[in-house]
Structure 1
């Protein structure tokens, strides 16, 4: 199944465009059997774009978009510092919702690259791990 992104460039702000991409990723994940629990979870430690569940596993999804891959693709943009921020935010989420030691979790990266009608996606499941 293809992720269809029909967004007119130049009419949306960067934030609006990012929200459109994330909404489409949520739609795609739902089509794949995931349940969306929360989007744009924000705390002082950072943000998690999408929190979903699938088969008793909590999935923390980082959505990355790159128009061009000249400075590295979307996947490469999730560097060590970004991964640590996501891990810390996920641990806070688990503590806040009293889910520590009660659920399996994983970190996925959903990469969208290109522009216009030439966008491609890559869903990297279990892209990195953390000590729970």
Structure 2
């Protein structure tokens, strides 16, 4: 698979995850927040929470599920990027925060979507 097709697949997965979360009542605040520390796929609001969402897509489960692919190193990058996001917001987000993961496994004609709320925390 080429880098371009992986990027396209990633964009499609993020769009699918965003739509799915919106049907669950979350509101999109920002998509693809990037800083030198990392990237956050989706920043959403869920009632009283600001939610940082990592979207993972895996075509085959041979190496574990999409959610299993969130390593401690990836978690640390997401946390650092979220802290940067909050710092840049200048105190405009006083909501409690959480980190969610949406795992997508493409199936024939559909997608299996797993939403793991509060997947990890600041240590």
1:8 aligned residue: none
1:29-44, aligned counterparts within 5 Å? 29-44=21-36
Give the secondary structure class of the aligned counterpart of 1:126: strand
Q: TM-score, normalised by structure 2?
A: 0.90
Distance 1:45 1:17 in 2: 23
2:94 aligned residue: 102
Aligned residues: 120
| 1:25-44 CA distance string (max 9 Å, x none) | 11111111111000100000
User: How far apart are 1:115 and its partner, in Å?
Assistant: 3.7
User: How far apart are 1:99 and its partner, in Å?
Assistant: 3.0
**Cα RMSD over matched residues?**
1.7
1:111 aligned residue: 103
1:124 aligned residue: 116
User: How far apart are 1:116 and its partner, in Å?
Assistant: 3.3
Structure 1, gaps ≥5 residues long: 1-11
- The structure 1 residue matched to 2:53, chosen from 61, 76, 81, is 61
Structure 2, gaps ≥5 residues long: none
Distance 1:27 1:77 in 2: 22
Residue 52 (str. 1) matches residue 44 (str. 2): yes
